[in-house]
Structure 1
Amino acid sequence: MSENALRDLNTLPTAEKKNDDSSKGNFTKPCNGNTVEKVEEQQKKSPASVHINGGETVNAGVEVAEVEYIDSENLNDIEDVDTCLKNLLPGLDSKDWVLVVEALNNVRRLSIFHKEAMQSMLVDVIPLLVKSLKNPRSAVCKTAIMTSADIFGAYNDDLIDCLDPLLVQLLLKSSQDKRFVCEAAVRALQAMTTSVSPLSLLPKLQPYLKNRNPRIRAKASMCFCRSVPRLGVEGIKEYGIDKLIQVAASQLSDQLPESREAARTLLLELQTVYEKSHDLSTAISEHPETGSWENFCQSKLSPLSAQAVLRVTNVAREGLVIGS
């Protein structure tokens, strides 16, 4: 991970309100699929209303624009793919934030309808997408977050080599106080955990479980917890239940309840997998208790950690017995 990425990760944005106020100016009309040249012509025409977050209207300056957050299922196909591809990188790198938003939405359209056409450009698109994720203007940042989710859904493990800078920014955005940006980032992280294979993703997530920012740790823990079950029983055994139980145990005493809850959920999953696989392998053993979950925990963890893990899993088991 680069030095810049680490610096971004360890510093949450602190000027959201100030930046939000400054975002209400210099609006221009988006191109809605048109070329950059057409947008520049449209900027000279009559102003239009701007709708942000489902209907809020902002009118600041001579020119205003229509900014809309479009759900993936409501995006339309692109009529002229070649022209869109030609103008994609200049649009993403534009100093005009409305052009950037339109280019981001075009990245989303290409990911959904023409992913093969854009695949060779990903190495150039991803750094500009990260740049937009860092943008203090909410319209750009949220659209970039939505773009990240669509890219995950389209390219899956093809993104693994350039995942780190995206992951850093999404963890940051999912940990901030601006609710609608935070919620969008959480959805993007969920898209990541369901699209990228766990064998590739888990090693990427693990360093963030020890980040000094507790919110970052919490979001990373939740992603880690969601990814592990996708390994399946054999995948979990291959990855190493001992490694995974150590990760989960370390999160049980974390500062935020989201981390602790994710750890508890993961431990119950690991217990189920361990006991199923152990029952099969020791069914004919004279002393199957020697390979019990309790003994396994005590052999792989420190006494205090093993006690905490067993407390969680035993309470859950007792609850199931009482409930039945």
Structure 2
Amino acid sequence: MSGNALRDLNTLPAPERKNDSSSKGNFTKPCNGNTIENIEEQQRKSLASVQINGGEAVNVGVEVANLEVEYIESENLSDLEDVDTCLKNLLPGLDSKDWILVVEALNNVRRLSIFHKERMHCILSDMTPLVVKSLKNPRSAVCKTAIMTATDIFNAYNNDLIDSLDPLLVQLLLKSSQDKRFVCEAAVRALEAMTTSVSPTLLLPKLQPYLKNRNPRIRAKASMCFSRSVPRLGAEGIKEYGIDKLIQVAASQLSDQLPESREAARSLLLELQNVYEKSHNLSTAVSEHPEIGSWEDFCLSKLSPLSAQAVLRVTTNLTREGLVIGS
């Protein structure tokens, strides 16, 4: 991982103003593939009008351009009118110094992901770093639109994003861990899209280093992603990946600082216990290999005594709760 990525992960942005709406930013109309015109005219309207009073310039009023952004949900995005022109202008738009054009280009990436993903596939490796650049943008309208873009490209391209995943993952973990609620919630949805779109065999090794990050919020979000990804392996995939490896990961998160990490660990442990016990009960190899013991024996053989006790206490309580609910 690069030094820049590590610095990003270990430094959360300072809390931002809380007067941002969850559905509005500082932008104009929704984009639909056409270049926004008269930007300079809009900027000129924001200049203050002044009058001279006794040799002093006095501010008598400001006509501020009413710039708002509408964050359009994926299902409400419309198709592009001119796909060829949009593709031609896409990368320059994403790399523009004008944030309005960047937001328009991001929304066009979303439209292409939904309606024309095959057409955009050839520029995916060039496009993704520019989306990451927008994720780092301090302007909320750009940042949140970039997060929504990440969600759509995860849903569209699945494992094709694996080579570009690390910088995306870093930024989404950061954004999901900050104090600005509407940005945080969008980033959590993007991470959920990642865990349901990218193969767990590819994703779990990417997530595992962040479980030990020194920032507890990063660890918590990574734990939640890890816990959601493991069941997608299926019983055979979990055994192939290694229940012993996974139980050690879960046990390490069980005593973590934040409750999200601990809850994710409990969920993962229950999944592992179910897989282990079903495999143990159904396997004909048990009689041939008496060393294969109970879940308790397994935990004691793979973990330190204290960790094993903590794991067994959790899984026993969860199992009992499940039996009570099911009775």
TM-score where L is the length of structure 1: 0.88
Residue aligning to 2:215: 213
Residue aligning to 2:67: 65
- Distance in structure 1 (CA, Å) of the matches to 2:28 and 2:197: 35
- Distance in structure 1 (CA, Å) of the matches to 2:118 and 2:159: 14
Asked if structure 2 preserves the Cα contact closer than 8 Å seen for 1:47 and 1:64, the reply is no
Q: What do the CA deviations read for 1:274-301 (whole angstroms, capped 9, x no partner)?
A: 0111112247628968511011111111
Q: Which has the higher contact order (CA 8 A, sep 6+)?
A: 2
Residue aligning to 1:77: 79
Larger Rg: 2
Cα 1:61–1:125, aligned 2, differ >3 Å: closer, same or farther?
Answer: farther
| Structure 1 position 311 matched with structure 2 position 310 | no
Three-state SS of the structure 2 residue aligned to 1:189 is: helix
Q: CA deviation at 1:322?
A: 3.7
Where does structure 2 lack aligned partners over 5 or more consecutive residues? 46-61
Which of 93, 96, 109 is the matching residue for 2:95? 93
- Distance in structure 2 (CA, Å) of the matches to 1:193 and 1:147: 16
- Distance in structure 2 (CA, Å) of the matches to 1:250 and 1:25: 40
Residue aligning to 2:256: 254
Root-mean-square deviation (CA, aligned residues, Å) is 2.5
Three-state SS of the structure 1 residue aligned to 2:41 is: coil
Which of 180, 183, 196 is the matching residue for 1:181? 183
| Structure 1 position 44 matched with structure 2 position 41 | yes
Residue aligning to 2:4: 4
* Corresponding residue pairs, total: 307
Asked if structure 1 preserves the Cα contact closer than 8 Å seen for 2:151 and 2:189, the reply is yes
Deviates more, 1:288-297 or 1:69-78: 288-297
Residue aligning to 2:119: 117
- Distance in structure 1 (CA, Å) of the matches to 2:42 and 2:317: 67
Asked if structure 2 preserves the Cα contact closer than 8 Å seen for 1:282 and 1:288, the reply is no
Q: CA deviation at 1:124?
A: 1.3
Cα 1:26–1:107, aligned 2, differ >3 Å: closer, same or farther?
Answer: closer
Q: Percent identity?
A: 81
- Distance in structure 1 (CA, Å) of the matches to 2:124 and 2:98: 22
What pairs with 1:243-322 in structure 2 (closer than 5 Å)? 243-282=245-284, 285=287, 290-322=292-324
Q: CA deviation at 1:44?
A: 3.0
Q: CA deviation at 1:122?
A: 1.2
TM-score where L is the length of structure 2: 0.87
- Distance in structure 2 (CA, Å) of the matches to 1:249 and 1:18: 36
